[in-house]
Amino acid sequence: MSGSKNATRSGNRAAENGVSPRGRYLRLLALSLGSAAVFAVLFYLWGRELFPRAAGRWGGAFPFVGAVALTLAVALFLSEWFGFAGREVRKVRLAARDFLFLCSLALLLFFAAKAVIDLLAEIPALGRGVPTRVYAYLIPLPAFAMVVRVLINSETSILFTVAASVLSAAAASGSWPALLFLLLSGTAGAARARRVPDRYRMLLVGVQTAPVCAVAAAALEFSFHGGGGVLWAAIFGAVNGLLSGPIALAVMPVAESAFGYASDIRLMELSGTGNPLLSRLMMETPGTFHHSVVVGTLAEAGALAIGANPVLCRVAALYHDIGKLGKAQYFSENQAGVANVHDGMSPGLSCEVILSHVKEGVRMAGEFRLGDRITEIIAQHHGTSLLYCFLDKARPMIRDREASEEMFRYPGPKPKTREAAIIMLADAAEAAVTSLDRPAPQEVDGTVNGIVNRIYLDGQLNECDLTLRDLHAVGRAIGQVLAAIAHGRVDYPESGKGAV
């Protein structure tokens, strides 16, 4: 369905979350078959008049067979559409979970469209003055397109808008004005949902979509049916746009909890220090917490420099080292004023403890339901890089063939997204610059450049979409912030006089 690349990606994710690929596949298969059965029943109950009947003993079963056949045809259309795009469009890498989410959303919209049209036609007060066809302007596609853009990405939301428009227009007897309105309103909603860090912004997106929907509905109604229903069309179009914000806000938490997505709104909630995991990090490993906050600031600056997602960078950075919880004393940022526990340990054992913080972080992210975007960044933030600090200590062992250099590499995977790559760069740069004593700005710059070059030459950025221009811009942004942090304080006179 989604190509071997995506199958590998979902397989990796499954393995990371402790579920075997086979178990994950069987679960998805059961879920797909269950969903298909539910939709076949809904088609049968709601669209019985569409399907042919036949004479004879089994004639009564024909409408149900028709409903099953329609479900199969729709599933085939959706799998071909999203499958093709998933294989061929670079930014539409749909995992099985995304595919299932989009198909469910498209079918849900179809039944929502049918419910809107059927139920409103039943209301006598409306039935008299409003032509039934005008109810199609209330089909809530803008809200669903906004949800897809916020939870997945803009390319996928365009694909979803087209597929869902075709399906939902069927609920409005396949009329041209309905199809055109759905295509236009879905695109308008998705186009305005670029960055949605809070609920207010989501409501605002709906308000901005409303005039476009109203004008489109009025124009389409006038051009295809004359002036009779234009006012109602404009009103329904506007209401559709205005309601798209609240509907999207209602759908998103359900999608997040059922499919493991993390919207920017959810990320902002996770960034508060009232969050139990962050509180623990702050109380139990203050050095790691401080390091994570600084990495978050650097990563946010890096993301802003190249148009990546700054919210995801900042929040994922806060959690990137949660795997260190419970083993604080083994990590240098928590060792101020105490003896280094690694002095009494073999390099192999030290390395094992340090490397384990990635796996433990992924486990904790799953336990605390941080969502796949943060979990994947935790898994990728060291890529397959070498643990240089213990490598030198282990040189004699490597020479005597008691150990190999590969034992001192993180298990990966390498960063797959620009945000994961930015966090890898910010993390390494922060650690390197912190080890310098009151560095001059040129020294900070040189150190950051050295780190960026080392990571690039080590091949850690081979699997993400960062261009060389991006890499240069990210390195410069991180260097500027680190230089400001390193030289941001002016010494107070000892007496305290003169301090402002």
Distance CA(217)–CA(342), nearest Å, equals: 70
263: three-class secondary structure by DSSP: coil
Question: Which residues, 413 to 442, sit near Fe ion by CB under 5 A?
Answer: 427
Residue 339, Cβ neighbours under 10 Å: how many? 9
**Closer residue to Fe ion in complex, CB, 255/355:** 355
CB of 481 to Fe ion, least distance (A): 16
- Cα–Cα separations (whole angstroms), residue 334 to 54, 138, 356, 436: 77, 57, 17, 17
Please give, one letter per residue, the 3-state secondary structure of 175-199.
CHHHHHHHHHHHHHHHHHCCCCCCH
Assign 302 to helix, strand or coil: helix
Q: Which is nearer to Fe ion, 146 or 316 (CB)?
A: 316
CA distances from residue 411 to 93, 357, 380, 454 in whole angstroms, order as listed:
23, 11, 9, 18
CB of 248 to Fe ion, least distance (A): 34
Length of the chain counted residue by residue: 500
Task: Answer left, alpha or beta for residue 173, where phi above 0 means left and psi between -120 and 50 means alpha.
Answer: left
* Helix, strand, coil share (%) of the chain residues, nearest 5: 75, 0, 25
Four-point Cα dihedral 458, 312, 484, 354, nearest 10: -50
Tell me the closest approach of the beta carbon of residue 410 to Fe ion, in angstroms. 9
Q: Which is nearer to Fe ion, 142 or 361 (CB)?
A: 361
Contacts 24+ apart (CB under 8 A), 266-273: 266/371, 267/197, 267/311, 267/312, 267/315, 267/371, 267/373, 267/374, 268/197, 268/198, 268/311, 268/315, 270/315, 270/318, 270/319, 270/370, 270/374, 271/314, 271/315, 271/318
Shortest Å distance, C-beta 295 to Fe ion: 6
Find the angle CA(472)-CA(473)-CA(477) to the nearest 5 degrees.
Answer: 120
Closest CB 372 distance from Fe ion, rounded Å: 19
Residues 318-377 close enough to bind Fe ion by CB under 5 A: 321
CB of 142 to Fe ion, least distance (A): 40
Specify the residue, 16 or 321, whose C-beta has the smaller distance to Fe ion: 321
Shorter beta-carbon distance to Fe ion: residue 16 or 427: 427
CA distance 170 to 182: 11
Q: Which is nearer to Fe ion, 332 or 346 (CB)?
A: 332
**What is the rounded CA–CA span in Å between residue 116 and residue 121?**
8
Shortest distance (Å) from residue 292 CB to Fe ion? 7
| One-letter amino acid for residue 140 of the chain | P
Report the residue number, 372 or 427, with the smaller CB distance to Fe ion.
427
User: Min. distance of Cβ 321 from Fe ion in angstroms?
Assistant: 4
Interface map 377-416 toward Fe ion (x if CB under 5 A): ----------------------------------------
Alpha carbon distances (Å) from 133 to 75, 139, 140, 214, 227: 27, 11, 15, 15, 14
Binding mask 298-327 for Fe ion (x = CB under 5 A): -----------------------x------
Strand ranges inside 351-477, DSSP E: none
Number of residues forming the site for Fe ion (CB under 5 A): 2
Closer residue to Fe ion (CB): 146 or 294? 294
* Cβ-based nearer residue to Fe ion, 270 or 424: 424
- The least CB distance from residue 382 to Fe ion, in Å, is 6
Q: How far apart are the first and last CA of the chain?
A: 64
| Interacting residues with Fe ion between 59 and 98 (CB under 5 A) | none
User: Of 321 and 360, which CB lies nearer to Fe ion in the complex structure?
Assistant: 321
Which 248-307 residues touch Fe ion, going by CB under 5 A? none
Of 321 and 372, nearer to Fe ion (C-beta) is 321
Build a one-symbol-per-residue string for 169-198: x at contacts with Fe ion by CB under 5 A, - elsewhere: ------------------------------
Closest contact distance (angstroms) between CB of 499 and Fe ion is: 33
Interaction site with Fe ion (CB under 5 A)? 321, 427
